[in-house]
Amino acid sequence: MAEKYLEIQCKIIDKAGWINIYKYFSEAPIWPRGLPLDKINHPIPPYEELSEYLAKCPIQQGLANQNPDVDAIYRLVLP
């Protein structure tokens, strides 16, 4: 069976460490499941300065239907 994936030109964050990736999609106080709480408000690299990369994406995840996959603490603090 042939592999199925989408090949897409995308931006890549090539720094090590934690990034609240949801900040690229929303100005709301939101963060993904598993992000260390002390990293929620850390600054992110400017989008325009990120390197570009041709990536194979077998799994697609996004902010879907106004109900993204967020951390449980988010649901308790900002229901």
Checking if the pLDDT of 10 tops 80, the result is: yes
| Secondary structure percentages of the chain, helix, strand, coil, to 5 | 20, 20, 60
Gap between the Cα atoms of 48 and 61, Å rounded: 22
| pTM, 2 dp | 0.69
Q: Round the CA-based radius of gyration of the chain to a whole number and report it.
A: 15
Per-domain boundaries in the chain: 6-77
Residue 5 banded pLDDT, cuts 50, 70, 90: confident
DSSP 23: G
Phi–psi pair at 17, nearest 5 degrees: 115, -175
74 or 36: which leads in pLDDT: 36
Checking if the pLDDT of 79 tops 90, the result is: no
> 21-64: per-residue pLDDT in tens?
889 988 888 888 889 999 999 999 999 999 999 988 776 666 55
HSE at residue 77, side-chain half, CA atoms within 13 A, is 9
